[in-house]
Amino acid sequence: MESYTLICTPLREDSVTVLHLSGYLNDQTVRGFEEVVEALPHDSPQVVLDASEAIHISSIGFGAILSLASDLRERNGDLRIANLNPSLQRVLTLAFAGFFQTFSSTREAIASYHAVTAQ
C-alpha cells in the first residue's frame, strides 16, 4: 500500500488564520488535518486554506474541509480557499458549486475578509 503524507501548517496573518496544505489530504492523512484544525484558536473564525502545494484531495479530505467550513460558519466566520490547481478547482466547482469562495492567491483571500469588514 502506498504511503501518503500531508503537512498542514497554520499561520496567522492579521486576524486571519492561513492553513497551508502540502501533499495529500486523504483517508491516510485526514486525522492529522483534523488535529491541526481542532488546535486552531476559537477566536479566529476567519480561515484561508492555501492549497498551493496540495497534490490531491480525496472525497474524505473534502469532507473534512466541509466540516471545517460548517464549524467556522457556526462561529460567524468562514473558510476561503486559495491556490487550487486546475484539477482540484474542477472538483470543487462540480461538487460544491457556490459553497466555497475560491481565490487565485492567498493574499486575495485574506483581503476578501478585510473588504467584508470595511463595508
Q: What's the pLDDT score for residue 22? A: 97
Closest CA to 52 of 6, 85, 29, 30: 85
Read off the pLDDT of residues 49-91 as tens digits, 9 standing for 90 and up: 999 999 999 999 999 999 999 999 999 999 999 999 999 989 8
Q: What's the pLDDT score for residue 117? A: 53
Percent of the chain having pLDDT more than 70? 96
Residue 24 maps to a domain: yes
- Count the domains in the chain: 1
CATH of the domain at 30: 3.30.750.24
Q: How far apart are alpha carbons 93 and 99 in whole angstroms?
A: 9
Q: What's the pLDDT score for residue 1? A: 60
Q: What's the pLDDT score for residue 118? A: 53
Q: Which domain holds residue 14?
A: 6-118
